[in-house]
Chain A
Amino acid sequence: MTAPGSPTPTAAAIAAEVRAGARSARATVDAHLGAIDAAEATIHAFNLVLADSARAAADAIDARVAAGEDPGPLAGVPIALKDNLCTRGVPTTCSSRILEGWRPPYDATVVTRLATAGAVVIGKTNLDEFAMGSSTENSAFGPTRNPRDPERVPGGSSGGSAAAVAAGFAPLALGSDTGGSIRQPAALCGVVGVKPTYGLVSRYGLVAFASSLDQIGPFAGTVGDAALLLEVIAGHDPLDSTSIDQPVPSYTEAVGAGVDGLRVGIVSELMGEGIAPDVRARVEAAAEALAAAGAEVGEASVPAATFGLSAYYLIAPAEASSNLARYDGVRYGLRVDGATTSEMMEASRSAGFGAEVKRRIMLGTYALSAGYYDAFYGKALKVRTLIIADFAAAYERFDVLLSPTTPTTAFRFGEKADDPLAMYLSDVCTIPTNLAGQPAMSVPFGSGADGMPVGVQILAPTLGEVPMLRAAGVLEEAAK
């Protein structure tokens, strides 16, 4: 299981065997740590590998099984966490120098739920600083490489989590998705990535980038594993006021349910200009596969989706400019001294933040400024309302929608790093869903002309995870 891309046991298989006493959690963790040892120097998926605590947690799982207890649905399954999820006593860096030395005094809600389910946290993964980027090149600790081709980016911002799963370092990982930060790297690395409905998974303990868009979600090698992980982390949390208070349906059952009668619409606005022909061809092939499995496939229109990128690059930076204000050197993280408090704050922030983070803080500050609010932030909110309305109209005719996850397959390092706009365009297909607060996922569906994986995006209405996973299950089978 050490070679990138080689088959590894699924999380579902590991958990079933560990719970049955047929597999040692410790041996499972050791095997994955071995895979990390062998390839991490090349891939750099992790900011921190938690070998000792993972082994101790695995031993505890084995002891519980030996004592006749059930450690839970993810018993003994190694999982990698994006390094913007708070872990008690363990450095949480957001791949930024500004959080140097900070150890959260608490666990994120998802981390608590994983522990309760018996999962074993194996490390904290690399990301674009504060989740701002699409290639992991914006990490203060150096980029992550794509396990399918180390000359290429893994995507971002959750590039470390996607790479960890693709490289066989862990069968599962968690990422966060603000404008495509789970789905885009999943597509580029050839793994499954899910952005759940806004509010389905608690954000408590996720270091905020853009609060109205951020959502935690799973990475996995298979659709079934992604569904299993989503079942564990979904559900109401009183610590998050935006958390949805509704019972969670069975996602794992949805995966094998088929698409008979499911109405699938291809989003025409996301199939045109800017989408590479080989990528477009794979989406068309996916539509055919769904039709062959009994779905009713048609053409859908979400006109306002084309304005999504512009609206996103006002709303997300605006919220970020406020969310990142607290990194001021006063209470934690990096402090660079100055003669006055404001000079200290300025020096700390200048030294602690990278170029992309500064760019977005400035963009967002400008968009919210007196005299500009209506023209920029206010207008972006109106576009957001339009996008929601257009999706609502499309979902009157369709149960799920289909599009590419990304315009192209994984690009090479440096290709877009100096051109922020080109980089921003790689999220053009994923951003509209975040603005609408709806779920979407990326499923690997063959390769492009360069042999790199192509991801197909399945979009669904609010709390439409079940039909979304039904379609994903069928595509996964068809891709085999």
Chain B
Amino acid sequence: MSAIHGIDGLDDWELVVGLEVHCELATATKLFCGCPNQFGDDPNTNVCPVCLGLPGSLPVLNHQAVELAMRIGRALNCTVHPSVFARKNYFYPDMPKDYQVSQYDQPINADGWLDLPDGSRIGITRAHLEEDTGKNTHAGGSGRIHGADYSLIDYNRAGVPLVEIVSEPDVRSPEQARTYVAELRTILLAIGASDAKMEEGSMRVDANVSVRPHGQAAFGTRCEIKNLNSLRSLVRAIEYEARRQVDLLGTGERIHQETRHWDEEAGRTRAGRSKEEAEDYRYFQEPDLVPVAPGADWLARVEAALPVLPAARRETLAGAAGLAATHPGVVMAVDRGLDDLARGAIAAGADPVRVLTHVEHNLAVEGAETLGAAALAELVGMETGGALTATQAKTVLADMVATGRGPAEIAAERGFEAMDTGALEAIVDEAIAANASEWADYVAASAAGDDKRLKKLTGFFTGKIMQASKGQADGRAVNELLTRKRDGAA
């Protein structure tokens, strides 16, 4: 590949991205105390001497958190190691002890990988346990920590268990970064480790971005991009940052290793603390905790309890559908947890492509999971048998999800019946007659193999015909008729 994939104009450069994903674990209580691990409660209500770091308090490790961390590790093909906690020392008001209990040189999970739906593999360096910090609100002044009149701190989040998942610098495009995070999120949800909501901050992504000329083995200087609150931000920020770095290098300047913050509104990254003046965290082993060494039997139980992971589910569904595992309908079905439904409908004889089209385009709705496979198969059968147009099927499907009733009943009630071929042909003839010059264009474009123009004109005629049939015409039937008429005309 000669360009940064997915970014126009950066032809001579290769993008290198490593991702650090923090996810809050779905435990009942915090990492080192019995306070509820709950989002959205009144400030400073889920706190105690331990998570407030009061003098004399001591941490006690939450075993559910260790178990979820092991689940994440095994789902990401990591080796689970005996591990120790360490203190990461730095002063920050939202951190009650002014150190964060984390894992440093002996993390619980290391050396794994994640296979993406497109077939690429991203290495996982480590996935370690640590505690979350509280949350600052800066009031008055600029709204930032400098220049605020005062700050309020909510410690409800302090001590919530996190797993930080660090990837190898294997990501080569913004789109691949998105796919990685999306796949990781699907896995975290599937194994019940985290609710992984980027908007609520229970999943937070930092991207280490660098560029290098094609063919260069050494990595370029990287910048760490923070404040990425959505997949869209992630993609935009990486694109922006890659361009910024290429522009700088193009004018002979150096990249400074630094932390940069993504500004979603301005659509740019801004320099934060530079690494040269960054703090020395003075890591050392946390003396208030003992090493965590999960026994073989515990690890075996964790592995046995792991559900089938998304990649394997995609393979299964793809096999049943006779499609590639990368087919968007297959990917989406697994993402939405509708793969069992899709397989059931296919097994009941429904056309796989129609089933997956519905899953991909018409079932991104609440309650989709309540749909029965037999009912979906019946709907698709009516559609492929000509009893319903694609548009009608979509309407019926929405009603099925909303009401739980069967497709035949809904179709009858709505008066949906497929238009007979004679009536449709009459409408097509009328449309051709009324738009003779467009029809001549259509025939000419078809003969010339001008696909772009042909597509546009097909759309034009389909629109006219749909309008005339009040939406009852079947799109495929219209297309077939148009082709037949063209062949007749030629």
Contact = CB atoms under 8 A, between A and B. Distances in A.
Given A211-B287, A242-B290, A368-B284, A330 B93 contact: yes
Residue among B54, B96, B290 having the largest count of chain A Cβ atoms under 10 Å: B54
Contacts of B89: 321-322, 325, 368
Interface string A52-94: 0000000000000000000000000000000011100000101
A369 interface: yes
30 contacts: A84-B56, A86-B55, A99-B55, A102-B55, A104-B49, A106-B49, A203-B58, A205-B56, A205-B57, A208-B288, A211-B288, A240-B60, A241-B58, A242-B287, A321-B282, A322-B87, A325-B98, A326-B97, A326-B98, A328-B93, A330-B93, A331-B52, A340-B145, A341-B151, A345-B93, A365-B282, A368-B283, A369-B282, A373-B282, A373-B284
A240 B58 contact: yes
Contact of B282 (A102, A211, A322): A322
A99 B49 CA distance: 15
Contacts of A105: 49, 54
Contacts of A319: 284, 287
Interface string A366-382: 00111001000100000
A370 B276 CA distance: 13
Interface string A329-344: 0111000000011100
A42 B162 CA distance: 54
Interface of A is mostly: loop
Contact of B146 (A86, A340, A345, A377): A340
A241 B87 contact: no
Contacts of B283: 368
Given A105-B49, A368-B282, A331 B96 contact: yes
Contacts of B53: 326, 331
A86 B99 contact: no
Contacts of B145: 340-341
A242 B290 CA distance: 7
A165 interface: no
A318 interface: yes
Nearest to B288: A211
A233 to B, nearest CB: 15
Contacts of A102: 55
Interface of A: 84-86, 92, 94, 99, 102, 104-106, 108, 203-208, 210-212, 238-242, 318-319, 321-322, 325-326, 328, 330-332, 340-342, 345, 365, 368-370, 373, 377
Nearest to B92: A341
B56 A207 contact: yes
A409 B202 CA distance: 60
A239 B56 contact: no
Given A242-B288, A322-B87, 5 more contacts: A207-B56, A325-B89, A326-B53, A341-B151, A377-B284
Contacts of B353: none
A340 B147 CA distance: 8
B488 to A, nearest CB: 81
Interface string B268-305: 00000000000010111001111000000000000000
Contacts of B57: 106, 204-205
A206 B87 CA distance: 19
Contact of B287 (A108, A212, A328, A365): A212
Given A99-B55, A207-B55, A342 B91 contact: yes
A108 B290 CA distance: 21
B306 interface: no
5 closest pairs, A vs B, by CB?
A: A325-B98, A212-B287, A368-B282, A211-B287, A207-B55
A240 B59 CA distance: 7
Nearest to A329: B93
B61 interface: yes
Interface of B: 49, 52-61, 87, 89, 91, 93, 96-99, 145-146, 151, 153, 280, 282-284, 287-290
A208 B288 CA distance: 10
Nearest to B97: A326
A75 to B, nearest CB: 27
A252 to B, nearest CB: 28
A106 B55 CA distance: 10
A422 B411 CA distance: 96
A204 B56 contact: yes
Contacts of B49: 104-106
B167 to A, nearest CB: 25
Contacts of A345: 91, 93
A219 to B, nearest CB: 20
A383 to B, nearest CB: 15
Contacts of A321: 89, 282
Contact of A241 (B146, B151, B284, B290): B290
Given A330-B93, A369-B282, A86 B60 contact: no
A370 B282 CA distance: 7
Contacts of B153: 330
B218 to A, nearest CB: 24
Contacts of B290: 241-242
A373 B281 CA distance: 12
B273 to A, nearest CB: 13
B58 A104 contact: no
Contacts of A368: 89, 282-284
B453 to A, nearest CB: 64
A84 B56 CA distance: 8
A212 B288 CA distance: 7
Contacts of A328: 91, 93, 98
B288 A325 contact: no
A92 B55 contact: yes
Nearest to A207: B55
B54 A104 contact: yes
A449 B253 CA distance: 76
A61 to B, nearest CB: 26
Given A105-B49, A242-B288, A368-B284, A326 B56 contact: no
Contacts of B93: 328, 330, 341, 345
A322 B91 contact: no
Nearest to A205: B56
A321 B89 CA distance: 9
Contacts of B288: 208, 211, 241-242
B341 to A, nearest CB: 46
A106 B54 CA distance: 10
Nearest to B50: A239
B388 to A, nearest CB: 64
B280 A369 contact: yes
B96 to A, nearest CB: 7
Nearest to A106: B49
Contacts of A211: 287-288
A446 to B, nearest CB: 38
A300 B473 CA distance: 102
B450 to A, nearest CB: 66
Contacts of A240: 58, 60
A316 to B, nearest CB: 11
A370 B104 CA distance: 14
B289 A241 contact: yes
Given A319-B287, A326-B96, A326-B97, A86 B56 contact: yes
Given A241-B60, A318-B284, A325-B91, A104 B98 contact: no
Nearest to B52: A331
Contacts of B55: 86, 92, 94, 99, 102, 104, 207-208, 326
A332 B282 CA distance: 25
B60 A370 contact: no
A330 B96 CA distance: 9
Contacts of A203: 58
A314 to B, nearest CB: 11
Contacts of B91: 325, 328, 342, 345
B374 to A, nearest CB: 53
Contacts of B60: 238-241
A322 B284 CA distance: 9
A210 B286 CA distance: 11
Contacts of B280: 369-370
